Homo-oligomer: A and B are copies of this chain.
Amino acid sequence: MNKITIAVIGCGTIANSAHIPAYMANEDAEIKYFCDIVKDRADDAVAKYECGQAIEDYNQILNDPEVDAVSICTPNDVHASIAIDCLRAGKHVLCEKPAARTYAEALEMQKVQHETGKTLNIGVVNRYNESVNRIRKMIQNGDLGELYHVYASFRSHRSIPGLGGAFTTKAIAGGGALIDWGVHFLDVVMYCTGDPKPKTVSGQAYCKLGKDMENYTFLKMWAGPPKYDGTYDVDDFVTALVRTEGPTISLNGAWAQNIGAEEMFIDFLGDKGGIRLKYGADFTFYTTEDGALIETTPKFNLGSMFQNEIDGFIRCIQTGEKQPSHIDTVILSSQIIQAIYDSSDQGAEVSLQPVAQNSL
């Protein structure tokens, strides 16, 4: 079989730490282009991985019929436009999360995917995590009984990424802790609970600890170092309550907060059993048996989520199969995130239910 020819658009942190190494390790994939508007980053990738060609303008990719597929690892503001351009140019697309800055953009991406029929997967990489998949099966099997509530906590002491850069500029990223981390947590919730439709969303997002950039104290920084002359206008704390057709969902999230406990977990509460998933790691299952309360924590090799994601993307292209990271699967969480931001702006709950038809 011919190798799938790949172009990587955006050669920053996530490309180098995840996408590119995974393509390099996939025997069916071959990277032809490293594209970045900062040419040095593209050049560095060519040097480091000893393959491909460094370019600045992704139109060159659109026009090259040899390219089968692209990974979009750019800031969020151009996810939608590049993905749409690529799909229309006949390329398969794997686009980093969040799909887009807004729900409207995500819907547009979905529409073009449906029109073109090309693959459009989103980087909801937890769907390739063994813990997450075991939990999903347990819920489907009824091991938890009726699932009535899920609490997602993504609270870190000091983890603002790239202070002053693309991550913390609303016009580019679309948001902060909620859209960057919350998107993963909500995705796990929706994936495991069977995509229940949201009905009401109330939330509040705060831009606090990073705002006074000079005085933001931290020990290390992802996608750093800080750009103190940049912009910081996104949420570093968010809280929300979501009613769905299934369980209610509450969440508290912080890129940074003046509380030292790192609480990165999702609690699934059922009337027969419950599960706490430690994000990115193992989980504990709580149940009862013969009058005793039982806690069980299996720890297993989680493998590499990113490798699984890339391998899955390549298989999509080869076989046409639909992966759990298909754009269709992230529309609801995109809608919820949008609604949290909207609710925060309005200071009131947002209803997502269709207006009742007049019965006349």
Q: Chain B residues with Cβ under 8 A from A348's Cβ?
A: 200, 349, 351
15 inter-chain pairs at a CB distance below 8 angstroms, sorted by A residue, are A149-B204, A157-B286, A158-B293, A199-B347, A200-B202, A209-B271, A239-B250, A257-B274, A258-B271, A258-B286, A260-B297, A289-B298, A291-B301, A294-B297, A294-B298
When the two chains form the complex, which single residue of B200, B206, B217 contacts A291, counting CB atoms closer than 8 Å?
A: B217
A259 contacts the other chain (CB 8 A): yes
Q: Chain B residues with Cβ under 8 A from A295's Cβ?
A: 260, 295-299
Size range of the chain A interface in the assembly: 35 or more
A219 contacts the other chain (CB 8 A): yes
6 tightest Cβ-Cβ pairs between the two chains A and B: A258-B274, A349-B349, A292-B300, A293-B299, A295-B297, A217-B288
A239 touches B237 (CB 8 A): no
Within 8 A of B (CB), among A259-306: 259-261, 267, 269-274, 276, 284, 286-289, 291-302
The residue in A258, A261, A289, A302 that gathers the most chain B C-beta atoms within 10 A of its C-beta is: A258
Given A203-B241, A239-B149, verify A219-B269 contact (CB < 8 Å).
no
The residue in A202, A284, A286, A348 that gathers the most chain B C-beta atoms within 10 A of its C-beta is: A202
When the two chains form the complex, which single residue of B208, B219, B288 contacts A301, counting CB atoms closer than 8 Å?
A: B219
A276 touches B261 (CB 8 A): yes
Q: Chain B residues with Cβ under 8 A from A289's Cβ?
A: 298
A218–B292 alpha-carbon span in the complex (Å) = 8
A313 contacts the other chain (CB 8 A): no
B298 touches A241 (CB 8 A): no
**A269 closest partner in B (C-beta):** B257
**A219 closest partner in B (C-beta):** B301
A200–B347 alpha-carbon span in the complex (Å) = 8
A293–B301 alpha-carbon span in the complex (Å) = 9
Q: How far is the CB of A208 from chain B (nearest CB, A)?
A: 5
**A144 closest partner in B (C-beta):** B258
A316–B240 alpha-carbon span in the complex (Å) = 42
Q: How far is the CB of A216 from chain B (nearest CB, A)?
A: 9
A273 touches B294 (CB 8 A): no
A148 contacts the other chain (CB 8 A): yes
Q: Chain B residues with Cβ under 8 A from A243's Cβ?
A: 204, 347
B237 touches A148 (CB 8 A): yes
A354–B209 alpha-carbon span in the complex (Å) = 32
A128 contacts the other chain (CB 8 A): no
Q: How far is the CB of A293 from chain B (nearest CB, A)?
A: 4
Q: Chain B residues with Cβ under 8 A from A299's Cβ?
A: 219, 260, 292-295
A348–B202 alpha-carbon span in the complex (Å) = 9
When the two chains form the complex, which single residue of B240, B267, B292 contacts A241, counting CB atoms closer than 8 Å?
A: B240
B274 touches A151 (CB 8 A): no
**A301 closest partner in B (C-beta):** B219
**A217 closest partner in B (C-beta):** B288
B296 touches A291 (CB 8 A): no
B269 touches A148 (CB 8 A): no
Within 8 A of B (CB), among A296-341: 296-302
A129 contacts the other chain (CB 8 A): no
Q: Chain B residues with Cβ under 8 A from A292's Cβ?
A: 217, 298-300
Other A-B contacts than A239-B241, A241-B250, 11 sampled, CB-CB below 8 A, are A157-B286, A158-B293, A202-B202, A220-B301, A250-B250, A250-B252, A258-B287, A259-B274, A260-B297, A292-B300, A295-B298
